[in-house]
Chains A and B, each alone.
Chain A
Amino acid sequence: GAGVSQTPSNKVTEKGKYVELRCDPISGHTALYWYRQSLGQGPEFLIYFQGTGAADDSGLPNDRFFAVRPEGSVSTLKIQRTERGDSAVYLCASSFQRNTEAFFGQGTRLTVV
């Protein structure tokens, strides 16, 4: 497809488990962003990739969260030892360059029970 694709669309996991969320950006977009949106809130920044490298990971809440983008395209957000407070919609966005318009995927709704 032409847009940003995120899988899975929904994920239910037990507290303490490990999860991976995948983002497939628009082809040719060098910048990729992860945001987290809690119920009733706007998206909050987690991490930004320029190419393969994490240019800004200041939004990651703690060391249980990690993200990679090994080939400069698909990115995976990894959450270890999940907690109920991690339940949210995780949004991925990509843009052609650093300061151009960002296009968002439909998000992954993570529920930790």
Chain B
Amino acid sequence: AQKITQTQPGMFVQEKEAVTLDCTYDTSDPSYGLFWYKQPSSGEMIFLIYQGSYDQQNATEGRYSLNFQKARKSANLVISASQLGDSAMYFCAMREVGYSTLTFGKGTMLLVSP
């Protein structure tokens, strides 16, 4: 079974609107971390936001917030006030306790139109 599932291959949003990118995960470990990365066409993976499994509050970083629903095993990324520069691939990833490495989903391509 896939550990990270991103069901949206592509998403379209108009500039200044909010958009939610879905991510569900599968783990039996009680301790884990969830990450979102942005990958523009240049190829670099840019860290956006982190949520620990024991964090009581949803993580926020500027225009990015993570809608963490532990019981549903979902960690959706919300981007508010989309900008043209937000057009990129977005990857959800998980790191389980005892592992130092990240497991990535297949990504969602976000296109922001004027």
Interface residues of A (CB under 8 A from B): 31, 33, 35, 40-45, 48, 50, 55-56, 59, 89, 91, 93, 98-99, 101-107, 109
**Contact across chains for B93 and A42 when beta carbons are under 8 A apart:** yes
Q: Which residue of B lies closest to A98 (CB)?
A: B100
**Contact across chains for B100 and A43 when beta carbons are under 8 A apart:** no
Q: With the chains together, A84 CA to B104 CA distance in Å?
A: 23
Report if A107-B44 is in contact (Cβ < 8 Å); known contacts: A42-B93, A42-B106, A101-B50.
Answer: yes
Contacts of A43 in B (CB 8 A): 45, 91, 102, 104
**Contact across chains for A44 and B45 when beta carbons are under 8 A apart:** no
Contacts of A105 in B (CB 8 A): 44
**Contact across chains for A91 and B45 when beta carbons are under 8 A apart:** yes
Neighbour of A56 across the interface among B95, B101, B103, CB < 8 A: B101
**Contact across chains for A42 and B44 when beta carbons are under 8 A apart:** no
Neighbour of A48 across the interface among B33, B101, B104, CB < 8 A: B101
Q: With the chains together, A105 CA to B33 CA distance in Å?
A: 21
| 6 A-B residue pairings within 8 Å (CB atoms) | A33-B102, A42-B106, A45-B103, A56-B100, A105-B44, A106-B42
**Contact across chains for B101 and A106 when beta carbons are under 8 A apart:** no
Report if A59-B106 is in contact (Cβ < 8 Å); known contacts: A99-B95, A101-B50, A103-B47.
Answer: no
- Min CB gap B7→A, angstroms: 14
Q: With the chains together, A104 CA to B37 CA distance in Å?
A: 10
Q: With the chains together, A48 CA to B98 CA distance in Å?
A: 13
Q: Which of B1-52 contact A (CB under 8 A)?
A: 4, 33, 37, 42-47, 50
Tell me which of A42, A48, A56 has the highest count of chain B C-beta atoms within 10 A of its own C-beta: A42
**Contact across chains for B45 and A104 when beta carbons are under 8 A apart:** yes
**Contact across chains for B100 and A31 when beta carbons are under 8 A apart:** yes
Tell me which of A41, A43, A107 has the highest count of chain B C-beta atoms within 10 A of its own C-beta: A43
Contacts of A107 in B (CB 8 A): 43-44
Contacts of A50 in B (CB 8 A): 100
Contacts of B43 in A (CB 8 A): 89, 91, 106-107, 109
**Contact across chains for A40 and B44 when beta carbons are under 8 A apart:** no
- Min CB gap B105→A, angstroms: 5
